[in-house]
Amino acid sequence: MPVFVKDSEKCVGCLICMFACSRAHQSAGLESSCIKVRSQGGISRGFSVFVCRGCEDPPCARACPEDALIVRKGGGVLLKEERCTGCGYCVKACILDAIGWKNEKNKPVICIQCGECAKSCHYKVLEFVRK
């Protein structure tokens, strides 16, 4: 798990991490971000941050009827876009809501563990550790 939530208490909800993820996937909208930041009831209540944990036995891959998600060594998955039919089962299966969606292609956006979200976080909420 190269990207993890180090200290969610520091999150101010700026969404810069989400924009950085979208850019890493050559997209502009937040719906294509693999990281999600959600308010827990305003600034006073804080924010929750959800990132791909690189599951060793990922439910998203098990849910794919086309075997378009290949389990990576060390956890997480890789998307074989040519196999993907855009059914969205992987998105529904992800228990962390850590899969984005690219509307233009009607395909999921899978975390590539690049660390752009962590590198862009000015508040050090996220940490990127290269395995």
The pTM of this model reads: 0.87
Q: Contact 119/20 with Cβ under 8 angstroms?
A: yes
Distance, first Cα to last Cα, the chain: 8
> What's the CATH number where 95 sits?
3.30.70.20
How many domains does one find in the chain? 1
Read off the tokens for 15. 């969404």
pLDDT at 131: 63
The residue range of the domain holding 104 is 3-128
Per-residue model confidence as pLDDT tens for the chain (131 residues): 688 899 999 999 999 999 999 999 888 789 889 999 999 987 788 999 999 988 889 999 999 999 999 998 878 899 999 999 999 999 999 998 899 999 889 999 999 889 999 999 999 999 998 76
pLDDT at 117: 95
- DSSP letter for 83, please: T
